[in-house]
Structure 1
């Protein structure tokens, strides 16, 4: 067997390291972009519906739960700009995930109860995150989840429990799951549990942004609690190093029919 001299060994090492540097994995790591936009109600903003009147004695625990007027939150449209809040936009699965997003930086999320209302109403949770369920109300509540794949929880929270209880969901779900308080049946919220970072909940103005998506054609689901799926093939063509602005993504009033 022929022996290599020192120069040949050095050249071989340099070639190997060079090929490693130019490997497809390293090159593809630069192929990421973002998407932004706003979900808009394409019609006259619906008038808010009162869920609980202030001082209503028929409401359970009225001194807390009816201390002020509460509106329905199954369809929240901003009257100033017609933005639709609480729309979930998400990939069902993600084959490629940006290296910085493979693990959640924030390991815990807070799910609170104030005035007999869940806060936030819509929550995106990754499987490597824990939800700390707390209560700021001086009455007892319970938290009851309805997942398709994870283990459901159903527990009581004592009044003013600011330490809270941890909830884990270790399996990716296919759609948002309902969370309820059985003591106060109007209290509902929705959690979307995924094993990747590519999801968002639209804010009070209907705005959404998802960063560091893989370049190319990406397909999302759009889901809203009042009607269910708004779109199962919301496609965005992501360009490397760019943010794609979808502008106003409009939905007609007819799309928000009861399920």
Structure 2
């Protein structure tokens, strides 16, 4: 970092003072908490984490030093404040993919378009020739769950995914939220949440690098005894991976 972009010593000192004040607020909230899920404690915790992270960053930028504290990620949900018996729920899903084989993606989209033209359901303007056009064709043809289970066929590679179930007092009016479907999510109305991420894979590997290696070589004496007979035309469906972490109320 250039000298011009470095924070001043006064800014670092102010960040340190902010951490001290946040520590006092957190302790005070803990001392007078009303229960295990007191929202005041949760808020004070988040403020302390944010102040400590800011201080750590400024300290490093100014003096090339770090604190001995690990700032925890916000991997917990706030206390639930929604209705005990919801009249409606919303299921919010996000799945990330990387386009790793554009040609495969284009080929699959071309097949879909050609089949639609043959059956009279296509517009006949030719197969999509761009990646964004191919994505529109495939996601218009297949359900998201099917794309998730067949992503490799479409030249896609899975990234992180998350699913949130949120409670509502009443169902939304038709068309009410379509322009901004994820804009007004209240974390305190999340009933449960399921995440899938390579980060969790890495954590499992670090915790137990030998996990999954329980089968000894001598446990399989004759590979001819294994049933490996598969028809050549059988499609192996990897399926959608099970969530590695689930947070429930």
TM-score class normalised by the smaller sequence: under 0.3
Higher strand share: 1
- Give TM-score scaled by structure 1 length: 0.22
- Give TM-score scaled by structure 2 length: 0.22
Higher RCO by CA contacts (8 Å cutoff, separation 6 or greater): 1
Higher helix share: 2
For the pair shown, the structure with the greater C-alpha radius of gyration is 2
